[in-house]
Structure 1
Amino acid sequence: MAELVNCPNCGKLYVKALRSVCDVCAREVENKFDIVYKFIRRRENRKATLDEVVEGTEVEKDMIVRFIREGRLHVSQFPNLGYPCAKCGKNINDGKLCGDCTDGFSRDLEAGDRQKAYEKRKEDREKAKYQTYSSMNDRLNRNR
């Protein structure tokens, strides 16, 4: 069921159905997409970087990145058109993190898992030591 909400861009009331913005803002986004797409489709602009596209089209960087993330602009066709990694800022074409940052997070997670396993083994050894001591105590008490 559709609901009545304010447009996050312009603040106007609209019925939220398929889009997250009002019709006027949706048309504006589509116009910006057309401007960007026409710009990078020109032979001389196919190898343009994100900053060059922003400068040439005057469309906001965030909007262009959104087009890439939504799959509307295919970076395979435009090799220099990427966006910054969320952690280090390195230029990427897919996801939110570059390969190096992803690998770093994986190593950190593995190190955490190894630390937890070490703590568990240590705890198990302490329990085993206590159980051995308790069973020896019980045998001594029975023999008295």
Structure 2
Amino acid sequence: MDLRNCIKCGRVFSYRGSEICSRCGENDEESFKRVKEYLYDHPGATISEVSEATEVSEKLILKFLRDNRIEIRDESNFFLDCERCGKAIKSGRFCDSCAVELKRGFESVLPKAHEKKPEVKTSTTNRMFIAEMRKKQK
């Protein structure tokens, strides 16, 4: 069991892939719901407007954008930057072309999942029969 400290509150928790504890995760989910509801009612709102109205930090709203949980509208003049090439994007971390290149790079390095593993044939002569071994011992 891997124990870590939550990066938000400092509380010790059992690590399961997230850098924050379950309590802070629940708080983030509540914040996300408030942001989502506000954006539904005010679709053209800026990040600072959403932050003020929902009392959710701009940093957390940007995290929601980077995690593809919300997306910038087409008519907005605000964009995120691709972390690889700097191109303007609406959500996520990478633009489409960089995502494709990264995927190709990973596929060339990682073993193919669809390749068949060599079949191991077993025969009855290769098996261990415990019952027979016990009979011989008696």
CA distance in 2, matches of 1:76, 1:95: 17
Higher helix share: 1
CA contact (8 A) 1:7 1:14 kept: yes
CA distance in 2, matches of 1:24, 1:99: 35
The reply on whether 1:54 has 2:47 as its aligned counterpart is no
Residue matched to 1:32? 31
CA distance in 1, matches of 2:74, 2:36: 11
Among all aligned residue pairs of Structure 1 and Structure 2, give the percentage whose two residues are the same amino acid.
28
CA distance in 1, matches of 2:72, 2:53: 18
Aligned length: 87
Equivalent position to 1:95, from 65, 82, 87: 82
Residue matched to 1:73? 70
Matched position secondary structure for 2:33: helix
TM-score, with normalisation over the residues of structure 1?
0.53
Cα 1:39–1:77 shift into 2, 3 Å: farther
Q: Which runs of 4+ in 1 moved over 2 A?
A: 76-80, 93-100
Residue matched to 1:13? 12
Could you list the runs of 5+ residues in structure 1 that have no partner in the other structure? 83-91, 101-144
Bigger radius of gyration among the two: 1
Q: CA RMSD in A?
A: 2.3
TM-score, with normalisation over the residues of structure 2?
0.55
The residue type paired with residue 35 of structure 2 is: V
